[in-house]
Amino acid sequence: MNKLSKPVRNLLIGLILILIGSIFANLLQTDFYKVRVKDFIIGTDKQQTVHTLAFIPKECTAENKCPAVVTSHGWLNTGEVQDAASIELARRGVVVLAMDAYSHGMSSNIYSGYTWAAMATDGMGMIALVEYLTSGILDYVDTSRIGCMGHSMGGGNTWTTAIYYGSLYNAALEEAQLPESDGGEEITDAEQAHADSLNKIWAALPTGSSPMLISEESNNYANIYANLGVLYGYYEEGGYSKTTGTAVILGDAKEALDLVNYPFGEERDNPIASVEEGKFYGNKDDRTLRVLYQPKTTHPLIHFMPNATRDVIEFFTYTFDIKTNLSAGNQTFLIKELLNFVAMIGLFVIMVPIAQLLMACPAFADLKGEEGPKVPAITKESRRMWIIGIVLTGVISFLAALLTWVIYDKIFIVEGPRLIYAAPTANCVMTWTAIMAAWCMFWFWFNFKRDKKKGIRTDKMIGWKISAKKWWKTLALAVCVIAGVYIVVWFTKWAFNTDFRIWTPAVKTFNVDKLIQFFPYLPAFFLFYLSNSLLVNGAMRVDGMKERKNLFICGVANIIGAGLVAIFQYGKLFFIDHTVLWGAQKFVSWIDPLVIIFAIPLLFLAPYMLRAFYKATGKVWLGAWVYSTMAVMILVMHNCINGLFF
């Protein structure tokens, strides 16, 4: 029996990792097939569609109706990020619809006739899903026990939804008290029953979204007739805007007191003077229950922290009167997330073998090559320049992030739907990437030309030169590699509902119209990863240094700038005064540093992938094309798109 070639072995290893991660993640997502997980796409008003991942416990039937919860993700994500709530509530007998908000994921995009303000008023699709759940079309749903929850922007959707139905209730009662109504100024039983039928939310839990404040001008609690909990992280990055000056709002903070003391907008007979974390105030039977959770977590980690998920489980099992043998601490979602990561590792492992196997075909055979000679071994003089180059690039990367926050939203103004550059978060990352592409190109060629004159480096060392014909063939090969990767993504999504993810960065299926937004972002990322490939393969690939050590140093060098952002931002939050360094200023939102930090995993991995493609081709081009394409797909396909198409 012939020994398998290295590309075939690596391809098999990657596919095995994908299968292991996908199969076992699917087992946990479905609670070992006790829960059905289905994709729903619902047509809504204003010519919109909303996509949701439905978690349906098999125990839920027409004879055994179950409560249901609609849950919404935040600004930077899609419905899959709500897995913690979806999996754990479904394990306890709750039907869960994890939605993609409008302009996110597989839901329809904003268009010229439907503004952001209108979408927000509609709960970004959440209200439409509540209507769907309560329509009676799902005979296994107990329409008297409907809940909603969401994170960050999804928390805003939750507030909006609860207020919407409470407003309908109030309006019906006001109409019932008109002199010309059936009972005159007295509310009849029939009129009360009608008002009750309009109030469709039994329990609401906004997460990563602060309690509202009552003022002379505003009292939104007057329009919430639902059991209400708020989960606000102890280390929320936006906590500087609270009355306490930090995210800690327990005790006598006005936010906490207003939450628990004003059910239906009216002050309790015996107001609470100090709010305790996780304590239920009021009565769930008359929807006056109020509770504040403050798990020790940051804003983006709420979806991945068992302590926050425990609070979600406790709130809904209590308000829905769910009898379960599973404690709130019995959780499996985090293992599922780790298995998603295993599958994602496998996805990146198969990229280079796919390219190598395609280069065994006649059409791409002439692209196969070998790595060029390495840069001469480091001397005392060159070591100093090597270290200076790494540190200087890291510092400039850090300063480029600060510059990006000041200018990006002035360059790419997104006030409404537009054809290109329609993703605000992607615009931030792209601006930073473009600045760094310019610097890295300059720094590489400045040093290369100097060293070439000294006879230290040659053109063969960098794999830059390529004929026009091979350049186009390289691009065609990159397209084939990406196509192969996404065939795997689509198949595993269909077979196992696989979510290739680490934290927020994810490789996922998408609506074809999202490709319109892919192309404008590609040039900046391509130039950055091309410059990165030149540095990794033509400057830092030195003779006498072990490959693993060399690649690790390259990976660390890539994340210095983003790492410094994380250290300064969260060092201040955790260890100094419980507030972030950037966020309260006019020129920056606290989300801007976060999206730079999200790039750390991809930046660290880049040298490993770029080096592997370079070794297979002897050129820097293929790796730059493939990796930049994946980076843009990850950035755009699950993000908010203010696009013109739907």
Tens digits of per-residue pLDDT, 493-529?
999 999 999 888 899 998 887 888 889 999 999 999 9
- In this prediction, residue 645 carries a pLDDT of 55
Which has the minimum average pLDDT: 410-414, 504-508, 558-562? 410-414
pTM value surpassing 0.75: yes
Helix and strand numbers (H, E) in the chain are 19, 10
Q: What is the mean pLDDT of residues 604-617?
A: 97
DSSP 114: B
Instruction: Identify the burial level of 259 via C-beta atoms within 10 angstroms of its C-beta, where 0-12 means exposed, 13-18 middle and 19 or more buried.
Output: buried
pLDDT at 410 over 90: no
Q: What is the mean pLDDT of residues 172-186?
A: 87
Mean pLDDT across the chain: 93
8 A C-beta contact, residue 199 and residue 225: yes
Which has the minimum average pLDDT: 122-126, 314-318, 476-480, 619-623? 122-126
Per-residue confidence at 116, pLDDT binned at 50, 70, 90?
low
- In this prediction, residue 114 carries a pLDDT of 60
pLDDT at 113 over 80: no
Q: What is the mean pLDDT of residues 529-554?
A: 95
Cα–Cα dist 488/327, whole Å: 37
| 95-100 and 66-72 beta bridge pairing | parallel
User: Taking the CA atoms of the chain, what radius of gyration do you get in angstroms?
Assistant: 27
What are the residue ranges of helices labelled H in 559-617?
560-575, 591-597, 600-617
- In this prediction, residue 646 carries a pLDDT of 47
The residues, ordered by sequence, that sit 6+ positions from 150 with a Cβ below 8 Å of its Cβ are 71, 72, 73, 74, 82, 126, 156, 157, 158, 206, 207, 209
φ, ψ dihedrals at 9, nearest 5°: -60, -45
Q: What is the mean pLDDT of residues 40-59?
A: 92
CA contacts within 13 A on the Cβ side of 294: 20
pLDDT digits (tens, 9 = 90+) for 567-605: 999 999 999 999 999 998 888 999 999 999 999 999 999
pLDDT at 621 over 50: yes
- In this prediction, residue 41 carries a pLDDT of 94
pLDDT at 240 over 60: yes
Q: What is the mean pLDDT of residues 242-256?
A: 96
pLDDT digits (tens, 9 = 90+) for 365-387: 999 999 999 998 888 878 888 89
3-state SS string for 432-494: HHHHHHHHHHHHHHHHHHHHHHHCCCCHHHCCCCCCHHHHHHHHHHHHHHHHHHHHHHHHHHH
pLDDT at 115 over 70: no
pLDDT at 418 over 70: no
Cα-based distances in Å from 147 to 66, 144, 302, 454: 12, 10, 19, 71
Share of the chain above pLDDT 90, in %: 80
CB atoms within 10 A of CB 490: 14
pLDDT, greater one: 627 or 420: 627
Query: ∠ at Cα 21 (19, 25), nearest 5°?
Result: 115
Paired tokens of 348: 């990146």
pLDDT at 118 over 90: no
- In this prediction, residue 640 carries a pLDDT of 81
Share of the chain above pLDDT 70, in %: 97
pLDDT digits (tens, 9 = 90+) for 74-111: 988 999 999 999 999 999 999 999 999 998 999 987 66
- In this prediction, residue 644 carries a pLDDT of 61
CA contacts within 13 A on the Cβ side of 180: 0
- In this prediction, residue 141 carries a pLDDT of 97
- In this prediction, residue 1 carries a pLDDT of 46
